Amino acid sequence: KQEVTQIPAALSVPEGENLVLNCSFTDSAIYNLQWFRQDPGKGLTSLLLIQSSQREQTSGRLNASLDKSSGRSTLYIAASQPGDSATYLCAPKGNYGGSQGNLIFGKGTKLSVKP
Among 34, 65, 73, 80, binds another protein (CB under 8 A): 34
Of 2 and 80, the one with the shorter C-beta distance to another protein is: 2
Query: What type of residue is 113?
Result: V
**Closest CB 78 distance from another protein, rounded Å:** 22
The span from the CA of 105 to the CA of 24, in Å, is 11
- Our measurement of the distance from residue 115's CA atom to the centroid of its chain's CA atoms, rounded to an integer in Å, reads 23
Tell whether residue 31 is a contact of another protein (CB under 8 A): yes
Among 65, 108, 111, 113, binds another protein (CB under 8 A): 108
Scored b (16 or more CB within 10 A) or e, 78-101 reads eebeeebbbbbbbbbbbeeeeeee
Which residues contribute to the site for another protein (CB under 8 A)? Answer: 31-32, 34, 36, 42-46, 49, 51, 89, 91, 93, 98-99, 102-103, 105-108
